[in-house]
Amino acid sequence: MFRIYPAVDIKGGKCVQLQQGDPSKVLFSVDDPVKVAEFWVEKGAKALHVIDLDGAFEGKLKNEDIILKIAELAEIQVGGGIRSIDIAEKLLKSGVSRVIVGTLALKEPEAVRKLAKDYPNRVIISIDTRDDKVVVNGWRAKTELSPIEVAKLFDDLEVSFLLTDVNVEGLMKGVRKEFIKEVVASLKKDVIVSGGVSSYEDAKLIKELGASGVVIGSALYLGKVKFEELLELEEL
């Protein structure tokens, strides 16, 4: 089943959209993330993609209260600043549907593997990629690992993957077809795609390439694509 995930990114208590994860490049900002979440749920969103940007930058979850309020409204997957197994488990026990781990997955792969076994289908491994190498610590540190190399560490477990193409994230200039195609085809488990989605056609292409879902942020908030049209892809 294909899923459309509206992005609710939280920074300084506000719902924002950044260009390529740069806190100095704010494309959109509104005061109340909970009301934004309510808006998307009322529009028909079956799940939300919630990121604690402060947590991603500072290495520690910062907006837990807001996140748990949103968790009362809908199914949500949460990432940003989940740098310990304890925090991940706390969120999962507090109403969060799925946790997204990226930096933690590389720093403590065995612990994350155990978490995935303890919480099947509730852990998402984040594969954030710049110039075809995985980046961590809020996208600021580049590793020498390819996205497929990282994903293969967890592909035997009941997990999903979040593939974010940082090169195009927030630019609203479209997605890199061959990059997505290669990663999705190489993995057994579900892959959700994020970054660069700027049109219905982009989302449709991602579905056709075999992904299980797509995260859409800036293009939605800036009116480049209509959510109602995107939802049609869930039914096709």
Q: Is 9 a catalytic residue?
A: yes
Q: Which one of 9, 165, 190, 202 is the catalytic residue? A: 9
DSSP H/E element including 28 = strand 22-30
Rg, Å, the chain Cα set: 16
On the 0-12 / 13-18 / 19+ scale of CB atoms within 10 A, 143 is middle
CB 180 within 8 A of CB 162: no
The residues, any chain, with a CB within 8 Å of residue 128's CB and separated by 6 or more, are 102, 134, 135, 136, 139, 164, 166
Measured CA to CA, the distance from residue 10 to residue 51 in angstroms comes to 6
Compute CA distances 198 → 65, 83, 172, whole Å: 31, 30, 5
Q: Which one of 54, 128, 190, 202 is the catalytic residue? A: 128
Helices (H) and strands (E) in the chain, counts: 11, 12
Q: Is 31 a catalytic residue?
A: no
Q: Is the dihedral of CA 52, 59, 187, 122 positive or negative?
A: negative
Q: Is the dihedral of CA 1, 4, 88, 162 positive or negative?
A: positive
Which residues are catalytic, by number? 9, 128
